[in-house]
Structure 1
Amino acid sequence: MTEYTVIRVFAERLFDGEHWLTNQLVTFKGQMIESVESATMPTNGEIERLDVLAPGFIDVHVNGGGGALFNHTPTIEALARMVAVHAQFGTVAMMPTLISDDYDVMSQAHHAVCQALEQNMAGILGMHYEGPYLNPIRKGVHNESKLRKPTEGTLSTLLNVSRSGKLMVTLAPEQVPEGFIEWLVSEGAIVCIGHSAASYDQARQAVMSGVRGFTHLFNAMTPLVSREPGVVGAALQTDLPTWCGLIADGHHVHPAAMRVAIAAKGSEHMLLVTDAIQSVGSDEKEMPFLGKKVRRSEGKVTTEDGTLAGSDLDMATAVRNAISLIGRTPAEALQMASLRPAEFLGLEHQFGRIKPGYRASLVALNEDFVVKATWIDGQKVWGSGMA
């Protein structure tokens, strides 16, 4: 019979994913939450006392961390490094993201993620291919020489991750053949629009074909203007359930634009994402990035010509910014970092709530929402008192 470690923590304030509660004793048994119950504050030192406990953050768009960029080192060791670094900032689960690259790099990355899933590596949910089926007109920092039209026979071998984990594909719908989006959805992919010059009608048709999300809203997509609502206009429609990723670093999107988007769409369909590169959790000021050199300064990373190259953002900072820059409540900000991405991925019965039967993947915060400890599947991976 399997022996499970039992851990108890006491939270003066607990956000269970929907409501704020006070003075709660949470018991983990193995990887799962066993119970959540009201209790008096413990007086002995055996039970850890926390200011704030919340569901851990889920980042569906993370390119690297701690000096490791997944494109540069598409290995299981790089994935472990990314998980360890982002856990410092409350991330308990991620979709490692591969920026447009050659098929051999895509294949190596695919193999590494499949290996991580087979080994039940904590913190890895699957994989996100950001490209290479993007529009050169809206390429952003992506290398134009890596962008191309899809070849189904080759691509089929890179979709196996959807059998054991989650698979995201960001593409420009105007760059792929008719029926391609439906085929990807049938293969288990969560399809998102990004780096696209599509018209509003093209984007709407893609949503009707199965598109579920919009990658880094406002960035690298046709804007909303009076006579042509563009991809942004399609993203903010509410008649069909789609989700929008927001890079809430104050550099990618103006806070006013984010406020307008949430007013139109509702925070329940907004995801906080980082688009983080290897600078997060690293002290480096300059670093290589897809054959270019990027510089980190004042909370952003840019190429020599000033193009944003991913971000220097972590999820805890994104939560704080959602409160301070966008004016969302702490509950909304925490949901946009946990429950909403869980719903987007179809994992809302495992993540995003602190309730019995959910994964014990949690973040302890102070009153200023700075991370003090992180648990992934019942194991403390960051914070004081670690073995």
Structure 2
Amino acid sequence: MKTCIYNGILMDGIHKTQPGGLIIEDGRIQSITTDTKSLPSCDIMLDAKGQYICPGLIDTHTHGIGGYDFNDIAKLSLREVAKQEAKEGVTGFLASLVCETHEDMKQLLTYYEEQEVDGFFGIHLEGPYLNRQQKAVMKEECLRDPMLEEFKEYLHISSKIKSMTIAPELPDAMELIRYGTAHGVVMMLGHSAGTAQDVLAAEKAGAKGITHLYNAMSQHAHRAPGIVTGAVLSKLMCELIVDGVHVHPDIVQATYKMIGAERIVLISDANPCKQLPKGEYLFSGKHVLVDKDKAIVKESGRIAGSTLRLCDALRNMCTYCGCQKETAIAMASAHPAALYGWKKGRLEVGYDADIMIMDEQFQVHQVLRQGIQIQ
């Protein structure tokens, strides 16, 4: 079955932004046309109505949505998660798992290994090899030093593990980073009290990125260069939560100027309470208060993940930094796709037809996943 999306403006931040359309067949982009007058005959003709035709957004760091918690598989529906994510233009996501005991994590990995849901791209293990000094909302009793044999067991159980966050200063962290990299896992650095030199050493060992830059890590102090300093000095990709809460807008702008758009990956780092009404909920074993655009731990008052829609992150990025729409789009599509080696995130022949159609105000109007309209 062939689908033609026409009467739109092609925009992916990689190629020239211009009027045109797409021809889709077998879930992939078959051809791209800039001829707005002569359209091929297709089974489905989808009018973009002059709006932007963009790659679908990819959220590589989210803990759930609408009350569905990736760590709580008893109540989880990945299909419902995928439906809710599509409403904000997200055509693919990684399920970020917070720390659990070794046995509980094995149960989670066994469950996910059996899941085949469109839009579910795999698992991001946020720990358990994290620094207790930078635990954030992680369960401290589940944090531990790197254990390669334990990690090997995780990889034996699950082929769905796509990334892992690790604190590079912990004992044997470099060995685990090298092993994970060699086995196709994108190793990310975070929840760390390490130094800039730890980051650079981890980069040499194969690490590919920084988890939610600025949050739960040592900072850019002029006499004590930490993980943030290392992020600037390195060539690693940097996740950024652009909700105006996790990172001040001025710091977002400074980051954009310091490291450039090419190294930024926009994420939500959403907690499972996202899209729920104001109230009190449970996340990572803690009572979380959700009010408007913020979630905090009831007992401590610290931030407990975001309630950010990824399409709103695009708007915020443009507002804070003055960058173009296409630049922000690439940060949430082409950049994460390139980091993970997925043939997605671009309007290019042969790439997966995960498509979002949005207007000038970043409102999502239509979404296609593998060429099939789902929103």
- Provide Cα deviations, 1:172-196, integer angstroms capped at 9, x if missing partner: 1122415222122222211111110
1:1-387 map, 5 Å = 5-40=1-36, 46-50=45-49, 51-73=51-73, 77-116=76-115, 119=116, 121-160=117-156, 163=159, 165=160, 167-177=162-172, 178-238=174-234, 241-283=235-277, 285-304=279-298, 305-347=300-342, 350-382=343-375
Q: Secondary structure at the match of 1:107?
A: helix
Check the 8 A contact 2:188/2:208 in 1, yes or no. yes
- Give how far 1:291 is off: 2.1
Q: Secondary structure at the match of 1:257?
A: helix
Say if 1:232 and 1:107 are closer, same or farther in 2 by CA, change over 3 A.
same
- Give how far 1:162 is off: 7.2
Distance in 2 between residues matched to 1:108 and 1:296, nearest whole Å: 29
- Give how far 1:160 is off: 4.3
Check the 8 A contact 1:86/1:281 in 2, yes or no. no
Distance in 2 between residues matched to 1:205 and 1:22, nearest whole Å: 42
Check the 8 A contact 1:373/1:380 in 2, yes or no. yes
Q: Secondary structure at the match of 2:321?
A: coil
- Provide Cα deviations, 1:304-324, integer angstroms capped at 9, x if missing partner: 121111110111011111111
Check the 8 A contact 1:339/1:351 in 2, yes or no. yes
Distance in 1 between residues matched to 2:197 and 2:104, nearest whole Å: 34
For these two proteins, the number of residue pairs brought into alignment is 369
- Provide Cα deviations, 1:69-109, integer angstroms capped at 9, x if missing partner: 1112278x532222221111011111110011122332233
> Aligned AA for 1:261?
T
Gaps of 5+ in 2: none
Distance in 1 between residues matched to 2:112 and 2:7, nearest whole Å: 34
- Give how far 1:54 is off: 0.4
Q: Normalising by the residue count of structure 1, what TM-score does the alignment of the two structures yield?
A: 0.90
Distance in 2 between residues matched to 1:11 and 1:106, nearest whole Å: 48
- Give how far 1:285 is off: 2.7
Check the 8 A contact 1:17/1:55 in 2, yes or no. no
The farther-off stretch of 123-132 and 198-207 is 198-207
Check the 8 A contact 2:213/2:240 in 1, yes or no. yes
Check the 8 A contact 1:127/1:161 in 2, yes or no. no
- Give how far 1:229 is off: 1.7
Q: Secondary structure at the match of 2:308?
A: coil
Say if 1:33 and 1:107 are closer, same or farther in 2 by CA, change over 3 A.
same
Check the 8 A contact 1:93/1:125 in 2, yes or no. yes
The farther-off stretch of 282-291 and 212-221 is 282-291
Cα RMSD after superposing both structures: 2.1
Check the 8 A contact 2:122/2:162 in 1, yes or no. yes
Distance in 1 between residues matched to 2:204 and 2:270, nearest whole Å: 30
Say if 1:46 and 1:250 are closer, same or farther in 2 by CA, change over 3 A.
same
Check the 8 A contact 1:16/1:355 in 2, yes or no. no
Check the 8 A contact 1:97/1:128 in 2, yes or no. yes
The farther-off stretch of 215-224 and 200-209 is 200-209
Gaps of 5+ in 1: 383-387
Distance in 2 between residues matched to 1:299 and 1:21, nearest whole Å: 32
> Aligned AA for 2:85?
H
> Aligned AA for 1:291?
G
Identity, in percent, stands at: 30
> Aligned AA for 2:58?
I
The farther-off stretch of 327-336 and 10-19 is 10-19
Distance in 1 between residues matched to 2:334 and 2:21, nearest whole Å: 21
Check the 8 A contact 1:74/1:109 in 2, yes or no. no
> Aligned AA for 2:54?
A
- Give how far 1:357 is off: 0.8
Check the 8 A contact 1:53/1:365 in 2, yes or no. yes
Say if 1:378 and 1:314 are closer, same or farther in 2 by CA, change over 3 A.
same
> Aligned AA for 1:66?
G
Q: Normalising by the residue count of structure 2, what TM-score does the alignment of the two structures yield?
A: 0.92
